């Protein structure tokens, strides 16, 4: 069982470059989430998609865009990367009836 | 702004002791509450969920919820060195957002 798959696992960008983090889940979950984790900051919600076709801002959406491509896939795009976006990014999906989040392995992004 | 607050620690307990972790939340409409454990460099993993007031026990773990006080706690009995990790409190809002506290780092000393 693959669960939640994120790509890439590591990425180094220069300031101003763009990139997309990909996330896919094979558990038929309705809701998907993107978080960033910085040292001492816990997980901060960037965007989430409660169901296919909907997206909502979380706590820290500035500088990011998302696309819920279909029920399986939820991508996160950085249009013009900044050093402040250096972080570990986690994608997660939820089994709505029980509310448990299933996480991907994380993507470590460094912006120089 | 919906907030989830945890005492950041670090918290250090001797092996075999009880570790107590606390969390408060601001959104009174929240219905689901979770504790995740995260080892360094790894993804968070669920250890407890609780949905109604009172206590919920699972092995060495007990979650406590008091919605009137907007307070969730986690007790770890007979703490083991393998319990050393960061513990994250998560709260699910009524619009399906899931927000986390900053986490409490626990160290269990042999």
- Which pLDDT score, from 0 to 100, does residue A95 have? 77
Task: Return the pLDDT at A97.
Answer: 61
Using CB atoms, pick whichever of A43, A99, A104 lies closest to residue B88: A43
A92-111 mean pLDDT = 88
The 10 Å Cβ neighbour count of residue A61 is 16
Which of B43, B49, B102 is nearest residue A90 as measured by Cβ atoms?
B43
CB contact under 8 A, A100 and B98: no
- Chain A residues in contact with B97 (beta carbon < 8 A): 45, 48, 56, 58
Question: Residue B87 — pLDDT band, cuts 50, 70, 90?
Answer: very high
Q: pLDDT-based confidence at B95, cuts 50/70/90?
A: confident
Alpha-carbon distance of B54 to B96, in angstroms, equals 23
pLDDT of residue B93: 84
Q: Stretch B26-36: mean pLDDT, rounded?
A: 92
Nearest to B40 by CA among A11, A10, A1, A37: A37
Check whether B9 has a pLDDT greater than 90. no
| Nearest residue of chain B to residue A59 (CA atoms) | B1
Q: Are B6 and B21 in contact (CB under 8 A)?
A: yes
Residue B55 has pLDDT above 90, yes or no: yes
**DSSP annotation string for B22-89:** EEEES-TT--EEEEEEE-TTS--EEEEEE-SSEEEEETTEEEEEETTTTEEEEEESS--GGG-EEEEE
Minimum-distance CB partner of A59 among B92, B99, B103: B99
Instruction: Please list the residues that pair with A1 across neighbouring strands.
Output: none
Provide the pLDDT confidence category of residue B82 given band limits of 50, 70 and 90: very high
- Give the per-residue pLDDT at A20: 97
Q: Looking at the predicted structure, is the pLDDT value of residue A93 above 90?
A: yes
Nearest CA to A32 among A72, A64, A59, A61?
Answer: A72
Could you tell me the CA-to-CA distances from B23 to A45, A107, B60 in Å, in that order? 18, 27, 19
Which residue among A40, A41, A50 places its CB closest to the CB of B96?
Answer: A50
Chain B residues within 8 A of A45 when measuring between CB atoms: 97-100
Q: Residue B98: closest CA among chain A residues belongs to which residue?
A: A45
pLDDT in tens, A20-75: 999 999 999 999 999 999 987 789 999 999 888 899 999 999 999 999 989 999 99
Contact B43 A105 (CB under 8 A): yes
Q: What is the mean pLDDT of chain B?
A: 93
* A34–chain B Cβ distance below 8 A for any pair: no
Position with higher pLDDT, B29 vs A41: B29
pLDDT at A98: 65
A89 — alpha (psi -120 to 50), left (phi > 0) or beta? Answer: beta
Query: Span A76-99, mean pLDDT?
Result: 91
pLDDT (0 to 100) of residue A1: 62
A47 interfaces chain B, CB cutoff of 8 Å: no
Average pLDDT over residues B58-82: 96
């Amino acid at each position: 069982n693959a669960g939640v798959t994120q790509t890439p696992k590591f990425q180094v960008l220069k300031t101003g470059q763009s990139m997309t983090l990909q996330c896919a889940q094979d558990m038929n979950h309705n809701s998907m989430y993107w978080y960033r984790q910085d040292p001492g900051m816990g997980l901060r919600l960037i965007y989430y998609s409660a169901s296919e076709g909907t997206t909502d801002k979380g706590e820290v959406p500035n500088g990011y865009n998302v696309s819920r491509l279909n029920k399986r896939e939820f991508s996160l795009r950085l249009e013009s990367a900044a050093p402040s976006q250096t972080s570990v990014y986690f994608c997660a999906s939820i089994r709505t009836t029980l509310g448990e989040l299933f996480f991907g392995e994380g993507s470590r992004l460094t912006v120089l | 702004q919906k907030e989830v607050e945890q005492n950041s620690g670090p918290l250090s307990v001797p092996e075999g002791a009880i570790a107590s972790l606390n969390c408060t939340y601001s959104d009174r409409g929240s219905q689901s509450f979770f504790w995740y454990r995260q080892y360094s460099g790894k993804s968070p993993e669920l250890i407890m969920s609780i949905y109604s007031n009172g206590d919920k026990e699972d092995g060495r773990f007990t979650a406590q919820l008091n919605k009137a006080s907007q307070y969730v706690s986690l007790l770890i009995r007979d703490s083991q060195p393998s319990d050393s990790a960061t513990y994250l409190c998560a709260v699910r809002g009524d619009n399906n957002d899931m927000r986390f506290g900053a986490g409490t780092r626990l160290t269990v000393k042999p």
